[in-house]
Amino acid sequence: MNIDYQYAVQDELNFDHEDSLSHWASLLADKWTPVIDGVHNRDSAEWEHHYESYFDYLELGDYNDILEP
């Protein structure tokens, strides 16, 4: 019995990590902003500064220092 297998090889997978980076940057920014009434104030300039900084840092791929298990 002969089985003919056909494989399609794709050189590069097209992954969009934008949502994942945004999620991690948001969580990391939450760690550094105060909680008001049990909620992180994501509208504050401080939170936005931390978010942008972390997003840029994560986008570079050099994030082993900031992620904790």
Tell me the CA distances in angstroms from 22 to 10, 11, 16, 25, one per residue in order. Answer: 27, 27, 11, 5
What's the pTM value of the predicted model, to 2 decimals?
0.62
> What are the extents of the domains in the chain?
18-59
Asked if 26 and 48 count as a contact pair (C-beta separation under 8 A), the reply is no
The model's pLDDT over 14-32, given as tens digits with 9 standing for 90+, comes to 566 567 888 889 988 888 8
> How much is the pLDDT for 14?
59
